[in-house]
């Protein structure tokens, strides 16, 4: 177990994450290093499937901190994110007490016993020695009001519950926010955070990721897949394949006992790498042989 | 390659090998402050807080390795991928003391009318003139505001424009409604029970949940995405239409605005200032190709790649305000319109020239785009913008 403050250099981050199956490049590792040492939240943006969410998961595995994930969506509010009262249990309690012929005092109902702790509260009021990893995933899906609220919490790492008082973190949780940029995250929130744009990996890194994440895939096939994927990304696709799709594709091909990426292999597995029918059509139109050639030409 | 347009794709290129950093002549803090100033001059928004963070960051990563300094600066000073190119240039110039070839400020394209076909022969449309109502006779029946409402923007005098600005500012846009997962307090007794309110009421009635509260799913307006052509041929309309964009952005929570010319420029942020004149000024600063040429296909491709694909256009009402005069490849325009239409709830094309007789067949861009348009409306006057607002909301 590593305490976040014990790391000394960016290289420690590269090594620590790699030991937990995440291969970070220099830029991402520097941003993570700074987030850990300066104790600032880290906002990660990038296309779908480039490995944003996985950063937080790997960090939790590495540091030994609990992973607390807050998945954002349109309409999310404090009751999902911070805390909520367990109303059904409160009602039951109310009935039981009254059946016993006693008056109910409001304080009794609004005690920790009836408190449902959601990820943000748990991240701030954590038990244990290692600060948790707080993952605020896909923050671009929440709305402005929620962002403003998040900003407040990420500024003070304190939460006040009127009935119970204020909770605050001894050491702030290691916080990672992700966004797909379906809309801009508010500037004030961005200013609170360190920022890193995760781009699609280059050929070498993608191949290395395949070796780690899909170890059963033969080396030559992995190479061809990695280069075919970079060819596909250069076409005008509606959804260019992310790393997740690269892994799926390589595994699907290996499962079909293919050890070469030829036309027929692409033909039967196209759906695992391209999720939209329009994109599949587009690539067929472009010509599968052209993809095979381009992939092969790359390191001939 | 793309100095001010959004271009996350270009950012995946690895940093190329660069010479060593210049020795720091001054303290890190002073260097940091000076570097921030250079970035601001290039249009990046660098708050003071960020420079303080950078100084702390440099203290952690050290200043002896160029790549570490670069990434520490990026993590603390850049918050949008579209700023990366400008940042890289400034970084090279400041820390390494050299300027990249061809990286000078983009010179605006000279004003040209982007006609893609010879001028229409004025005599080619016999008959239409005769059917036009006699302007003088009509005006006597209309109030001043009414005249203004129907007058073509291109024919406005300066005073009329000043007056119209107020009227445009009052226009409001709201996307068509769709159901959302957010719930609101229900007045009717159906839907999920609202336990929070029920408990509060039960407390008042000593424990008996006699009146149960209900919540019901509410309806949320769809996102509206406005793409306004600001090329030379649109000049007579662009100033009014950009004011319209401003009113829309300020008035609606889920409105996005872009300028389309030879490049794509996102204007939502610039136009979100309540002060219309300040908003116009900062939009004008941001759009480098104002009154230049048109590359509709490329602009839409940039939109699809950088925004649409990530979800901005999904389920949205997408509105393109353009005369459809295009110098680019009509084939590309058609392909990009197709991509857009597949994800959008509806695609509306607003053409200020639609009302002009004999116009339609002349613009090949328009012809290429039309098969992918759900609604084709006018946009040359206040009245037509009001109609547009209605079209968007249904
Ligand atoms: N650098 C990397 N090292 C190891 N595995 C990676 C890396 N990048 C991505 N992956 C793999 O890719 C998969 C997808 O990553 P992840 O779910 O984190 O993407 P994301 O950016 O959060 O995508 P989305 O935007 O769809 O949520 C992960 O399961 C992980 O296995
Ligand atoms: Mg994710």
Residue from B66, B81, B310, B314 whose CB has the most chain A CBs within 10 Å, to mutate: B310
pLDDT of residue B44 exceeding 60, the answer is: yes
For B62, nearest residue in chain A (alpha carbons): A9
Q: What is the mean pLDDT of residues A210-230?
A: 94
- The answer, yes or no, to whether residue A103 has pLDDT greater than 90, is no
Question: The domain spanning residue A136 has which CATH number?
Answer: 3.40.50.300
* pLDDT digit string, tens, across residues B257-266: 999 988 899 9
| In a domain? residue A122 | no
pLDDT band at B101 (very low <50, low <70, confident <90, very high): very low
- B215 with B241, same domain? no
In a domain, B191, yes or no: yes
Whether residues A284 and A181 fall in one domain: no
Does pLDDT of B116 surpass 50?
no
Local confidence band at B356 (pLDDT 50, 70, 90 cut-offs):
confident
Same domain, B207 and B337: no
Same domain, A182 and A240: no
Domain match, B227 and B202 both = no
Is pLDDT of A133 > 90? yes
Half-sphere exposure of residue B79: CA atoms within 13 angstroms, side-chain side: 21
Clarify whether residues A29 and A140 are in a common domain: yes
When computed from its CA atoms, the radius of gyration of chain B, rounded to whole angstroms, is 26
Average pLDDT score over chain B: 74
Predicted pLDDT of residue B27 = 65
Above 90 in pLDDT, residue B19?
A: no
* Residue whose pair of structure tokens reads 């110098």 in the numeric block: B327
Give the residue ranges of DSSP H helices in B194-275.
195-204, 235-251
**A97 is a domain residue:** no
B309 → closest Cβ in A38, A90, A238: A238
User: For residue A300, is it within any domain?
Assistant: no
**Distance from the A217 Cα atom to the nearest Cα atom in chain B, whole angstroms:** 26
Query: Is any atom of ligand 1 closer than 6 Å to the C-beta of A123?
Result: no
Does B78 contact chain A (CB < 8 Å)? yes
- Indicate if B233 and B195 belong to the same structural domain: no
Write out the DSSP string of B66-109: HHHHHHHHHHHH--SGGGHHHHHHHHIIIII----TT-SPPPPP
Return the H-helix or E-strand segment holding B158: helix B158-169
What percent of chain B clears pLDDT 70, i.e. is strictly above it?
67
CB within 8 Å: B268 and A195: no
Tokens linked to B381: 């006057």
* Side-by-side strand order, sheet with A42-46: A67-71, A133-137, A174-179, A42-46, A194-198
Task: Return d(Cα B388, Cα B335) in angstroms, integer.
Answer: 25
pLDDT at B161: 83
Point out the least confidently predicted range of A102-111, B174-183, B290-299.
Answer: B174-183
- Sign of the CA dihedral with A105 first, then A107, A110, and A113 last: negative
Q: What is the pLDDT of residue A193?
A: 96
Check A106 against B203: CB less than 8 A apart: yes
Same domain as A279, residue A216: yes
Q: Taking residues A79-84, what's their average pLDDT?
A: 91
Residue A48, class by beta-carbon neighbours within 10 Å (0-12 exposed, 13-18 middle, 19+ buried)? middle
For residue B185, name the pLDDT band (cuts at 50, 70, 90).
low
**Ligand 1 pocket member A41 (CB < 6 A):** no
**Ligand 1 test: best mutation among A51, A56, A245, A248, most atoms within 8 Å of CB?**
A51
List strand residue ranges (DSSP E) for B154-207, in order: 177-185, 192-193
Q: B380 and B273: one domain? A: yes
Lowest-confidence pick of A230-244, B44-58, B123-137: B123-137
Interchain pair B57, A236: CB under 8 A: no
Does ligand 1 have an atom closer than 6 angstroms to the CB of A45?
Answer: no
Is pLDDT larger for residue B151 or for residue A54? A54
- Asked if the structure places residue A277 within a domain, the reply is yes
Residues A54-58, mean pLDDT to the nearest whole number: 98
Contact B268 A88 (CB under 8 A): no
Instruction: Identify the pLDDT of residue B11.
Output: 42
SS (H, E, C) chain A: CCCHHHCCCHHHHHHHHHCCCCCCCHHHHHHHHHHHHHCCCEEEEECCCCCHHHHHHHHHHHHCCCEEEEECCCCCCHHHHCEEECHHHHHHHHHHHHHCCCCCCHHHHCCHHHEEECHHHHHHCCCCCCCCEEEEECHHHCCHHHHHHHHHHHHHCEEEECCCEEEECCCCCEEEEEECCCCCCCHHHHHHCEEEEECCCCHHHHHHHHHHHCCCCCHHHHHHHHHHHHHHHHCCCCCCCCHHHHHHHHHHHHHCCCCCCCHHHHHHHHHHHCCCHHHHHHHHHHCHHHHHHHHHHCCC
Kindly state the tokens that stand for B23.
């020795």
Q: Do residues B66 and B205 share a domain?
A: no
The answer on B62 and B193 residing in a single domain is: no
Residue from A142, A157, A134 nearest A70 by CA: A134
In chain B, residues with a C-beta closer than 8 Å to the C-beta of A97 are 207
Q: Are A134 and A256 members of one domain?
A: no
Backbone phi and psi for residue A118, each to the nearest 5 degrees, phi listed first: -95, 170
If asked whether residues A183 and A46 sit together in one domain, one would say yes
Report the pLDDT averaged over residues B30-39: 86
Candidates B228, B244, B257, B232; CA nearest to B382 is: B244
Q: What is the pLDDT of residues A261-287, one digit of tens each?
A: 999 999 999 999 998 888 898 899 888
Range(s) of the domain holding residue B298: 169-174+222-393
**Which is the closest atom of ligand 1 to the Cα of A25?**
1
Phi/psi at A135 (5° precision): -110, 110
> Which among B298, B5, B262 has a CA at the least distance from the CA of B114?
B262
Please judge whether A37 and B60 are an interchain contact, meaning their C-beta atoms are less than 8 angstroms apart: yes
Flag the least confident range among A241-245, A291-295, B63-67, B207-211. B207-211
Tell whether ligand 1 has an atom less than 6 A from the beta carbon of residue A180: yes
Task: Assess whether the C-beta atom of A176 lies below 6 angstroms from ligand 1.
Answer: no
Which backbone phi and psi does A67 adopt, to 5 degrees?
-85, 120
For an interface test with B, give the residue of A197, A201, A203 to mutate (most B CBs within 10 A). A197
User: Which residue on chain B is closest to A102 by alpha carbon?
Assistant: B206
Q: Domain count for chain A, please give it.
A: 2
- A18 CB near ligand 1 (under 6 Å): no
Sign of CA dihedral A234, A235, A241, A246: negative
In Å, how far is A48's CA from the nearest CA of chain B? 8
First to last CA, chain B: 40
**Does ligand 1 lie within 6 Å of residue A241's CB atom?**
no
Output B250 or B1, whichever has higher pLDDT: B250
Residue A286 sits at the chain B interface (C-beta within 8 Å): no
Is residue A235 located within the same domain as residue A283? yes
Comparing alpha-carbon positions, the chain A residue that sits nearest to B305 is A238
Q: Please, what sign has the CA dihedral across residues A88, A89, A94, A95?
A: positive
Task: Decide which of B160, B188, B220 is a domain's last residue.
Answer: B220
User: Which residues of chain A does B85 touch, with a Cβ-Cβ cutoff of 8 Å?
Assistant: none
Residues B57, A109: C-beta atoms closer than 8 Å: no
Q: pLDDT by residue (tens digit) across B207-240?
A: 555 555 555 555 678 899 999 999 888 888 888 8
Query: A189 and A207 in one domain?
Result: no
Q: In this predicted complex, what is the ipTM?
A: 0.91
A45 chain-B contacts, CB cut-off 8 A: 81
- Asked whether residue A123 is domain-assigned, the answer is no
B82 plus B5 within the same structural domain = yes
Contact call for residues A98 and B207 (beta carbons, < 8 A) = yes
Q: Based on the domain organization, do B207 and B329 belong to the same domain?
A: no
| Neighbouring residues of B16: CB distance < 8 A, sequence distance ≥ 6 | none
Using CA atoms of B119, B122, B123, B125 in order, give the dihedral in degrees to the nearest 10.
90
Largest CA distance in chain B: 86
Based on the domain organization, do B311 and B259 belong to the same domain?
yes
Name residue B259's beta-bridge partners.
B228, B265
DSSP state of B25: -
Q: What is the CATH number of the domain that holds B299?
A: 3.40.50.410
If you average pLDDT over each of A123-127, B166-170, B290-294, B364-368, which comes out highest?
A: A123-127
- Tell whether B222 lies on the interface with A, counting CB pairs under 8 A: no
- Are residues A273 and A148 both part of a single domain? no
Q: Which residue of B has its CA nearest to A96?
A: B207
Lowest-confidence pick of A53-57, B121-125, B370-374: B121-125
What is the band of B153 on the pLDDT scale with cuts at 50, 70, 90?
confident
Q: Please give the residue range of the domain that contains residue A268.
A: 203-294
C-beta of residue B63 within 8 angstroms of C-beta of residue B69:
yes
- In a domain? residue B139: no
Residue ID of nearest Cα to ligand 1 atom 9: A51
A182 in reach of chain B (CB within 8 A): yes
Same domain, A23 and A134: yes
Tell me if A73 and B11 make a contact (CB, 8 A cut-off): no
What CA dihedral angle connects B33, B39, B40 and B45, to 10 degrees? -100
Residue A98 touches partner B, C-beta closer than 8 Å: yes
Say if ligand 1 is within 6 A of residue A131 CB.
Answer: no
Classify residue B254: in a domain, yes or no.
Answer: yes
Whole-angstrom Cα distance, residue B35 to residue B47?
A: 12
Tokens (6 digits) for A220: 């030559």
Q: Which residues pair with B193 in a beta bridge?
A: B214
Q: In this structure, are residues A295 and A226 in contact, taking their beta carbons and an 8 Å threshold?
A: no
| pLDDT at A82 (0 to 100) | 92
Q: Do B184 and B87 reside in the same domain of the chain?
A: no
Q: For ligand 1, is residue A48 a contact (CB within 6 Å)? A: yes
A:B CB pairs within 8 Å: 131
Residues A55-63 have a mean pLDDT of: 96
User: Is B21's pLDDT higher than 60?
Assistant: no
Q: Give the pLDDT confidence score for residue A55 in this predicted structure.
A: 98
* DSSP state string for B125-153: STTHHHHSPPHHHHHTTS-HHHHHHHS-G
- The yes-or-no verdict on residue A142 having pLDDT over 70 is yes
Comparing A293 with B121, the larger pLDDT belongs to A293
Q: Of A30, A45, A79, which is closest to B61 when you measure between CB atoms? A: A30
**Distance separating alpha carbons of residues A85 and A66, to the nearest angstrom:** 23
Same domain for B377 and B247: yes
* Domain count across chain B: 3
Section A107-118 average pLDDT: 88
Distance between CA atoms of residues A15 and A237, nearest Å? 34
A240 contacts A200 by C-beta, under 8 angstroms? yes
Of the candidates B301, B356, B347, the residue with the CA atom closest to the CA atom of residue B325: B356
Res B178: pLDDT: 65
Burial of A106 (0-12, 13-18, 19+ CB in 10 A): exposed
When pLDDT is cut at 50, 70 and 90, the band that residue B22 belongs to is: low
pLDDT per residue over B308-331, tens digit each?
A: 877 889 889 999 999 888 878 889
Does residue B15 register a pLDDT over 60? no
Q: Give the A window 60-79 contacts with B, CB below 8 Å.
A: 73-75, 77, 79
Look at residue B17 in the predicted model and tell me its pLDDT: 44
Q: What is the DSSP letter of B175?
A: P
Confidence at residue B10, expressed as pLDDT on a 0 to 100 scale: 39
User: Looking at chain B, which runs of residues are DSSP E strands?
Assistant: 177-185, 192-193, 214-221, 224-229, 255-260, 264-266, 317-321, 346-351, 375-378
Mean pLDDT for chain A? Answer: 90
């Amino acid at each position: 177990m590593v305490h976040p403050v014990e790391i000394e250099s960016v290289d420690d981050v590269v090594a620590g994450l790699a030991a937990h199956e995440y291969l970070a490049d220099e830029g991402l590792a520097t941003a993570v290093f700074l987030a850990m040492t300066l104790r600032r939240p880290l906002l990660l943006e990038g296309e779908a499937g480039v490995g944003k969410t996985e950063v937080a998961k790997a960090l939790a595995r590495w540091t030994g901190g609990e992973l607390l994930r807050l998945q954002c969506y349109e309409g999310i509010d404090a009751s999902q994110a911070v805390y909520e009262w367990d109303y059904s249990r409160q009602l039951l309690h109310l009935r039981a007490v009254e059946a016993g012929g006693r008056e109910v005092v409001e304080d009794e109902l609004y005690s920790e016993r009836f408190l449902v702790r959601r990820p943000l509260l748990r991240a701030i009021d954590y038990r244990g020695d290692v600060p948790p990893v707080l993952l605020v995933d896909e923050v671009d899906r929440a709305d402005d009001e929620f962002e403003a609220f998040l900003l407040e919490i990420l500024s003070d790492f304190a939460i006040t519950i009127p009935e119970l008082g204020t909770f605050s973190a001894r050491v702030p949780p290691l916080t990672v926010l992700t966004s797909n940029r379906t809309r801009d995250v508010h500037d004030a929130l961005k200013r609170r955070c360190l920022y890193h744009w995760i781009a699609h990996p280059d050929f070498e890194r993608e191949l290395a990721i395949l070796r780690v994440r899909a170890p059963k895939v033969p080396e030559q096939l992995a190479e061809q897949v990695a280069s075919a994927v970079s060819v596909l990304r250069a076409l005008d696709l509606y959804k260019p394949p992310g790393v997740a799709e690269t892994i799926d594709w390589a595994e699907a091909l290996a499962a079909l006992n293919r050890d070469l990426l030829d036309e027929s292999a692409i033909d039967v597995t196209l759906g695992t790498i391209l999720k939209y029918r329009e994109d599949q059509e587009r690539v067929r139109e472009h010509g599968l042989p052209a993809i095979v050639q381009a992939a092969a030409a790359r390191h001939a | 390659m793309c100095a001010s347009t959004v271009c996350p794709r270009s950012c995946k290129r690895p940093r190329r090998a660069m010479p060593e950093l210049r020795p720091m002549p001054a303290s890190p803090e002073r260097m940091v402050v000076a570097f921030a100033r250079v970035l601001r001059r290039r249009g990046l928004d660098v708050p003071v807080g960020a420079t303080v963070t950078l100084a702390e960051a440099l203290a952690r990563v050290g200043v002896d390795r160029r790549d570490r300094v670069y990434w520490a600066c990026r993590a603390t000073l850049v918050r949008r991928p579209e700023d990366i190119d400008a940042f890289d240039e400034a970084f090279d110039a400041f820390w390494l003391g050299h300027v990249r070839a061809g990286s000078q400020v983009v010179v605006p394209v000279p004003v040209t009318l982007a006609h893609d076909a010879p001028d229409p022969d004025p005599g080619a449309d016999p008959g239409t003139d005769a059917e036009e109502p006699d302007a003088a006779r009509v005006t006597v029946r209309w109030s001043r505001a009414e005249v203004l409402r129907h007058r073509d923007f291109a024919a406005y005098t300066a005073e009329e424009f000043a007056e119209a600005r107020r009227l445009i500012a009052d226009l409001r846009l709201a996307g068509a409604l769709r159901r959302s997962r957010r719930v609101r307090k229900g007045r009717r007794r159906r839907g999920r029970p609202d336990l929070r309110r029920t408990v509060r009421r039960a407390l008042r009635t000593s424990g008996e949940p006699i009146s149960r509260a209900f919540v019901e799913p509410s309806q949320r307006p769809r996102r509206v995405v406005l793409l306004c052509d600001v090329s030379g041929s649109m000049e007579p309309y662009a100033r009014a239409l950009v004011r319209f964009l401003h009113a829309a952005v300020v008035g609606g929570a889920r409105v996005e605005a872009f300028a389309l010319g030879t490049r794509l420029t996102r204007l939502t942020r610039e136009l979100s200032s309540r002060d219309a004149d300040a908003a116009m000024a900062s939009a004008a600063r941001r759009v480098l190709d104002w009154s230049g040429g048109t590359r509709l296909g490329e602009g839409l491709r940039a939109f699809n790649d950088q925004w649409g694909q990530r979800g901005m256009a999904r389920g949205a009402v997408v509105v393109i305000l353009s005369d459809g005069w295009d110098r680019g490849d009509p084939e590309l325009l058609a392909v990009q319109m197709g991509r857009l239409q597949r994800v959008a709830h509806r695609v509306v094309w607003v053409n200020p020239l639609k009302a002009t007789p004999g116009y339609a067949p002349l613009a090949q861009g328009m012809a290429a785009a039309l098969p992918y348009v759900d609604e084709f409306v006018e946009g040359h006057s206040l009245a037509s913008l009001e109609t547009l607002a209605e079209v968007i909301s249904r």
